[in-house]
Structure 1
Amino acid sequence: MQPDALRIRKAPRQRRAVHTVDALLEAAALVLEEDGLEGFNTNAVARRAGASVGSLYQYFPSKDALTLALLLREDRAFHDAASATLELPTFREALTAFIGVTARQQLARPQLALLLDQQEDRPEIRAALSGKFRFRALLKEILGKPGGPGHLQDEQRRDLAAADLLAMMRGMTDSAGGRGERDVDDLAYRVGAAVFGYLDTAPRQM
């Protein structure tokens, strides 16, 4: 069960409430970007959003709840963009677009992405995010599209390849963000070279 400190207190239903929550989450993102984890607290977020701390606590019981909600916002945007690549007709087109999405997600707001990556590694945050989004399943579906490598027709190999490639993409994009890179196209090109190089290599015979 998700700890109370991570659970949003009430879901916004009216338009004004939705606007308030959206403003609080964007304020949280801006505070993280400008002040880092050291300056990230509920008072600073409320002040940045032009809201009272009381209004913030109506929805978020803690700083960790804000962090989780912000992670969910960013992951949802990533998932929506990644899901759209499935509409492309061929494996190569879809995978190239998926790689582009991962590069943009990391470098569009690199400081925010870097700090959220650090928070995502906390066990309680990781547990709360578990099962929310199906990035591995999306990539596995792309690998099975027309034109995909013949050796990935086997579902078990395709699942393993999806796990490997996600780890590869995350490692390269996280490192690029940590170094302060800004060129999305260059990062996507390098990740693509690594990904397609992996896929073009025949699997080891068991």
Structure 2
Amino acid sequence: MPEPLPDPHKRPRQARSVATFEAILEAAARILESLGFARFNTNDVAELAGVSIGSLYQYFPSKNALIVELIRRERTKLSNRIVEAIQQHDASDLKEKLKLVIHAAVQHQLSRPQLARTLEFASELIGRDIEESELQDELETIVSDLFVRSGISHAQTAAQDVIALSKGMINAAGIAGESDLNDLQQRVEKAVFGYLDLT
């Protein structure tokens, strides 16, 4: 059964605290990109962020809490990009909408590929959690609703399959170190359109 993720000690409200919180997160992201998960430590993060280790621990009680917040941040970015892609082009046909959704997912993975790979690895170690399940359910609902409106039969199953297919290909490309966004986009489109029998 998925577990809830640990929260930071406190969520900042004042502008200065928010800036510190974000600086710590960005420093953590850069260190994960350059050193990887195994050599990641909070002292390096604090130094790069320009804060004391005490200040870092005010927000994040452990390095896992810091990584979890980064995973959360990246998931939220991806979810927002996909929702925006669908909502901003409401009049587009299904193929155009799917192209935009695939583009959002591919761009997210390849914009910071090393970070995406490292967080994927860290997420496997930390374990599947409630938020990941909730995001999966949210994406399935969004895509399933899109399929229902477009007359795709067995919309829920089709949504699950299309998400699994896309996620598998995009994650595999990230792990393999691919950097050609257009090539990956075209391959995922070909697989998804073939599955849905969209010509």
1:126 alignment partner, one of 121, 124, 129 = 129
2: CA distance between counterparts of 1:51 and 1:183?
A: 37
**Are the aligned partners of 1:114 and 1:178 in contact in 2 as well (CA < 8 Å)?**
yes
CA distance in 2, matches of 1:151, 1:91: 10
What residue ranges of structure 1 are gaps of 5+ in the alignment? Answer: 202-206
2:178 maps to which residue?
181
Aligned residue in 2 for 1:137: 141
2:159 to 154, 162, 177: 162
Matches of 2:129 and 2:135, distance apart in 1? 10
Task: Find the aligned partners of 1:45 and 1:123 in 2 and give their Cα distance.
Answer: 20
8 Å Cα contact 1:91-1:144 kept in structure 2: no
Q: Aligned partners of 2:37 and 2:169: how far apart in 1?
A: 23
Moved over 6 A (4+): none
In structure 2, distance between residues paired with 1:93 and 1:129: 27
Q: State the match for 1:94 in structure 2.
A: 97
TM-aligned CA deviation for residue 84 of structure 1: 0.9
Kept in 1, the 8 Å contact 2:27–2:45? The answer is yes
| Kept in 2: contact 1:95–1:142 (CA 8 A) | no
Partner of 1:190: 187
Aligned residues: 192
Question: For structure 2, which runs of at least 5 residues remain unmatched after alignment?
Answer: none
Q: For residue 119 of structure 2, what is the aligned residue in structure 1? A: 116
Q: Structure 1, residues 28-82: CA drift from partner, whole Å, max 9, x if none?
A: 1000000001221111111111111101100111111111100111111111110
Task: Show CA shifts across 1:140-167 (max 9, x none).
Answer: 122233xx3x442xxxx11111111111
Q: Pairwise mapping of residues 49-60 of structure 1 onto structure 2 (< 5 A)?
A: 49-60=49-60
Superposition RMSD in Å: 1.8
The structure with higher relative contact order (CA 8 Å, sep 6+) is 2
Give me the TM-score of the superposition, normalised by structure 2.
0.90
Identical pairs, percent: 39
Distance 1:81 1:151 in 2: 23
Write out per-residue CA displacement over residues 4-47 of structure 1, whole angstroms, 9 at most, x where no aligned residue. xx221111000000000111111110000000012211111111
The answer on whether the counterparts of 2:79 and 2:135 sit within 8 Å (CA) in structure 1 is: no
TM-score (normalised: structure 1)? 0.87
